Structure 1
């Protein structure tokens, strides 16, 4: 019987993770469980995939022939020695095949790993594997990033590995250039790509490093669509967490999570996320090893402990520590709401038709005529658990056409046009939102539900309040003060964490919730603010107005009594 020691190590490691012998978050556990379950399923004739240990072993052995290029290992001229978790990731990515034709199963591999855990070495090893060790004639491999420096983070160590491996050069005929690697015998190429790549490439493999920094998916999409002529191409993404949950990285991450949870089958996607679990205390030293698979190997324990202590003692460092060393996503550098809690509250089965008898408020934020206006449909009721639950379904967002096409920020224009094309924005002709149309939309929808109130902001909503009241509905002005917003922010925060808040996952509202920042005052009051003018929070403000009124209308003042809050208004332009 042929022995595949590295594959055995990978599988043994996965079983240890499942049994809880190795600290790992649920996303790593699920990735291991998926592989082990698939191994069992592959024994059935009708299962479409099989695991080829020989192919997996080949990829691992190739990486371990490469030299280190950084740190004390490079100084000692040591070769890479993969850790068991790395062997598992490579084995699964490259070992699974389709039974019908023997080509690889996985076309995408997503690795979300904190900093200093050997990401660049792994990415360089994968790139060289696909360039010179995959049997692909005329292979094209690209290292893509948003900046030249980042693109070279993978290509530079790969080039150094080849320079320091004369036996590899002799065996494969690699030609080492200043900014590319080539194999003249068959025209294979490996080079970095920066920014938006031109069409025309035919990638066999695309390495996307630090995907969280990409503002959009253009590079990823161009590489993926160019792979049509390849039999078994690979999109290999390796990244840390970030703060842009409306970006393409978070979208891919969500796909991975849905796949691992079994919500959305995705047989050609491998992915895992090294992080901490919901409910873990990020200040606990024990979570460091859970999120960092190379703990005390390439990222030293005393360094992580020092970074954690600095973050505990300095609030301004907390989000940076969480994203870089614990892989916790935050959507702003000092975001108020926990976006993992927000995501956990999403339920795409929510339907307006199921709430025809449930009380609701329809708050509107119309502070700007030339930018996003928001209207929220917020239903509220006490459930069988005796707690007040909230249901936010089908929010409305409005933008003037001029802002969509002629705005003053490129990324904002691209974002708005994407949402418009997806039907997530109502676009009004000209340079201003049509407030009469917004009021008409609300009145038309109100007829289908027991609308109790329409909360509106005092800086713009008064312009539609008359129309709403003429239709027979109560319009209630909400002052932009701490007294109005702090209890609502605390309530939404608690409801999200406690599973009492439910929403349909609307991308625009999710983006805005993630943009809310706040700083406590001396009395522990908070107020919604935005970090920059481009990080809109109009939908979040409207939702908080609705929460504020729903608490009162439902009689849920208990722990959220306003008596503890200052009466001094904080007037902040939103």
Structure 2
């Protein structure tokens, strides 16, 4: 039977929510090459699990979902054309479901099935410790099989396993210590993509890996990962978004995405805590995943607070971490998500507002410069929020761990990464935004722009040069004096009278903020010095204090004037 890459190999699963609820297979019906699929299953099932008492075979220890996945991986290879209909695989699955053990067995199976002489097979783990475990697992699989012991040469000191006939080589590497290049790899398996993506070079490595696939149509890239312990960012966010788009049918790629995650309607408001949902995302529940263990961990996490709950939800139930889940997080952050309003851009804010104020904070070379605008809707009187930030190149160099996030925010349009050619670009850009409010007659005649008293004089000079009078600029006392804004914003977020555009950058910024009680006051500080930026939030609090004065615009806007009732004398 002839197989063609086309609609038959479409891996979209638009009914995935129903399948999750019914505990059905998350792998669509595909025209697999049965000979290859069955051969791979025979090999995979014969391998022994080295770290389970009695060393059962994978055939004895695994559930059906594992066999379906193995069949899809190896059954997508056409033995006649030597090409794969599916080139990439993405498995999102909670901890304790045998993820690393399955990864080791898949890479060994690939080495046995491989037809390319001197092929390279990379098994990439996030840390040296996990790489050692992965190598020990692969080595143990081979040691427990007499035939495989003769076929493979294990080189312990190099974390390599060499096929004595084809000279194919399995190399186990750690993302945190080893140089990872995918330039020649035929098969690459990445364990815990969310950890690997923290490397500043991650995007370049993925380009290399995929470049190698282009020259090796018999190869594949597989990612096996749990959900991130923090809001997804960088390469992990890109890969996860792409996998979801393929699963949902919004993107056609030769990629199979198997995502064990609850539908949003079930996950929100703590729905993941119900034991009835645990087996939906833990296909090994009752096998390698102990329900009592999960119940015990839930009790402990509920006692320890939001941070522990977020960690448990992400690692054992694949719930995507959002804003305001830390024990010392700002209360307002917990209500931020529900205050979002799609399409609330600066243009929309200007069009709807009767008056607007701005707040500014930060601006050091190792900091972000944050601008926040708060407008008051002329119809509903709700407060409308928008923010932007600027980062100098030094931030990316000194804080490599947050560079992927900053690039994400740049892509979303929330942040500008300066080129370094013009060191005043951020000041000029910021003044351009404030000037838009000024020309729209939205700024009040006093208290229009709130700045940190230790702010940059260049901003003041630039604004004054645009005709924005000194009287419009206000020095906002910081520290405990921001308490009224902190408390006030909490209340307005909770009661729905402050709306924002759901900007990803603000989600991250609020996640970085922690609160400290100082006497009767409360202050907001960074969670971690240096890498956690909160400047756009402080800018927002500065703007909040100005709007709390109930300002009026300097001039009646034309459309407001035309809408006034005509007085007949």
Superposition deviation, residue 390 in structure 1 = 4.3
Is the 8 Å Cα contact of residues 33 and 76 (structure 2) preserved in structure 1?
yes
Bigger drift between 234-243 and 545-554 goes to 545-554
Of 370, 376, 382, 1:374 maps to 370
Q: Which residue of 2 aligns with 1:193?
A: 173
Distance change >3 Å, CA 430–CA 21, structure 1 → 2: closer
**Structure 2 residue 512 is the aligned partner of structure 1 residue 515:** yes
Q: Which residue of 1 aligns with 2:285?
A: 295
Q: Which residue of 2 aligns with 1:313?
A: 303
- 1:382-421 to structure 2, matched below 5 A, reads 388=382, 390=384, 392=386, 395-399=388-392, 402-403=394-395, 405=397, 407=398, 409-411=399-401
Count of aligned pairs between the two proteins: 512
Q: Which residue of 2 aligns with 1:176?
A: 154
Bigger drift between 456-465 and 233-242 goes to 456-465
Is the 8 Å Cα contact of residues 243 and 333 (structure 1) preserved in structure 2?
no
Q: Which residue of 2 aligns with 1:85?
A: 65
* Partner Cα separation in structure 2 for residue 95 and residue 484 of structure 1: 60
Distance change >3 Å, CA 231–CA 536, structure 1 → 2: same
With a CA cutoff of 8 Å and minimum separation of 6, indicate the structure with the bigger relative contact order.
Answer: 2
**Structure 2 residue 43 is the aligned partner of structure 1 residue 62:** yes
Q: Which residue of 2 aligns with 1:225?
A: 211
* Partner Cα separation in structure 2 for residue 415 and residue 120 of structure 1: 27
Q: Which residue of 2 aligns with 1:571?
A: none
Q: Which residue of 2 aligns with 1:561?
A: none
Bigger drift between 81-90 and 323-332 goes to 323-332
Structure 2 counterpart SS, 1:142: strand
Q: Which residue of 1 aligns with 2:122?
A: 142
CA-to-partner distance for each residue in 1:330-370, whole Å, 9 max, x for gaps? 478656587998599696x7765566523254432236465
Is the 8 Å Cα contact of residues 451 and 473 (structure 2) preserved in structure 1?
no
Is the 8 Å Cα contact of residues 330 and 338 (structure 1) preserved in structure 2?
no
CA-to-partner distance for each residue in 1:148-175, whole Å, 9 max, x for gaps? 22223322211111110123445xx222
Distance change >3 Å, CA 435–CA 93, structure 1 → 2: closer
Of 165, 172, 183, 2:145 maps to 165
Bigger drift between 91-100 and 243-252 goes to 91-100
* Partner Cα separation in structure 2 for residue 168 and residue 419 of structure 1: 49
Q: Which residue of 2 aligns with 1:256?
A: 243
* Partner Cα separation in structure 1 for residue 333 and residue 293 of structure 2: 26
Is the 8 Å Cα contact of residues 458 and 477 (structure 1) preserved in structure 2?
yes
Q: Which residue of 1 aligns with 2:316?
A: 325
Is the 8 Å Cα contact of residues 66 and 80 (structure 1) preserved in structure 2?
no
Structure 2 counterpart SS, 1:471: coil
* Partner Cα separation in structure 2 for residue 361 and residue 371 of structure 1: 23
Q: Which residue of 1 aligns with 2:557?
A: none
Superposition deviation, residue 141 in structure 1 = 0.8
Bigger drift between 451-460 and 81-90 goes to 451-460
CA-to-partner distance for each residue in 1:398-421, whole Å, 9 max, x for gaps? 42x55555x3x4445787689889
**Structure 2 residue 108 is the aligned partner of structure 1 residue 128:** yes
Superposition deviation, residue 64 in structure 1 = 1.5
Structure 2's unaligned 5+ residue stretches are 2-10, 553-569
**Structure 2 residue 133 is the aligned partner of structure 1 residue 153:** yes
Distance change >3 Å, CA 499–CA 192, structure 1 → 2: farther
**Structure 2 residue 195 is the aligned partner of structure 1 residue 209:** no
* Partner Cα separation in structure 2 for residue 83 and residue 519 of structure 1: 48
* Partner Cα separation in structure 1 for residue 335 and residue 382 of structure 2: 21
Bigger drift between 523-532 and 452-461 goes to 523-532
Distance change >3 Å, CA 265–CA 350, structure 1 → 2: farther
Q: Which residue of 2 aligns with 1:18?
A: 18
Is the 8 Å Cα contact of residues 357 and 443 (structure 2) preserved in structure 1?
yes
Distance change >3 Å, CA 362–CA 63, structure 1 → 2: farther
Is the 8 Å Cα contact of residues 450 and 546 (structure 2) preserved in structure 1?
no
Q: Which residue of 2 aligns with 1:486?
A: 487
Is the 8 Å Cα contact of residues 339 and 500 (structure 2) preserved in structure 1?
no
Distance change >3 Å, CA 159–CA 99, structure 1 → 2: closer
TM-score of the superposed pair, with normalisation by structure 1: 0.73
CA-to-partner distance for each residue in 1:208-264, whole Å, 9 max, x for gaps? 112222223154443333333211322211122222633422332222223333444
Superposition deviation, residue 108 in structure 1 = 2.3
Is the 8 Å Cα contact of residues 307 and 321 (structure 1) preserved in structure 2?
yes
* Partner Cα separation in structure 2 for residue 291 and residue 200 of structure 1: 31
CA-to-partner distance for each residue in 1:474-528, whole Å, 9 max, x for gaps? 4455554222123324544776xx99642454xx545434323347899997846
Is the 8 Å Cα contact of residues 365 and 457 (structure 1) preserved in structure 2?
yes
* Partner Cα separation in structure 2 for residue 207 and residue 223 of structure 1: 10
Q: Which residue of 2 aligns with 1:268?
A: 255
Distance change >3 Å, CA 489–CA 206, structure 1 → 2: farther
**Structure 2 residue 529 is the aligned partner of structure 1 residue 532:** yes
Structure 2 counterpart SS, 1:286: helix
Distance change >3 Å, CA 128–CA 520, structure 1 → 2: farther
Structure 1's unaligned 5+ residue stretches are 2-10, 24-28, 43-49, 556-574
Structure 1 counterpart SS, 2:259: strand
Q: Which residue of 2 aligns with 1:567?
A: none
Distance change >3 Å, CA 287–CA 418, structure 1 → 2: closer
Is the 8 Å Cα contact of residues 67 and 80 (structure 1) preserved in structure 2?
no
* Partner Cα separation in structure 1 for residue 66 and residue 372 of structure 2: 46
Distance change >3 Å, CA 187–CA 548, structure 1 → 2: farther
- 1:229-240 to structure 2, matched below 5 A, reads 229-240=215-226
* Partner Cα separation in structure 1 for residue 402 and residue 133 of structure 2: 28
Is the 8 Å Cα contact of residues 339 and 514 (structure 1) preserved in structure 2?
no
| CA-atom RMSD in angstroms | 4.6
Structure 2 counterpart SS, 1:542: helix
* Partner Cα separation in structure 2 for residue 64 and residue 538 of structure 1: 54
* Partner Cα separation in structure 2 for residue 64 and residue 554 of structure 1: 72
Q: Which residue of 2 aligns with 1:442?
A: 433
Q: Which residue of 2 aligns with 1:365?
A: 361
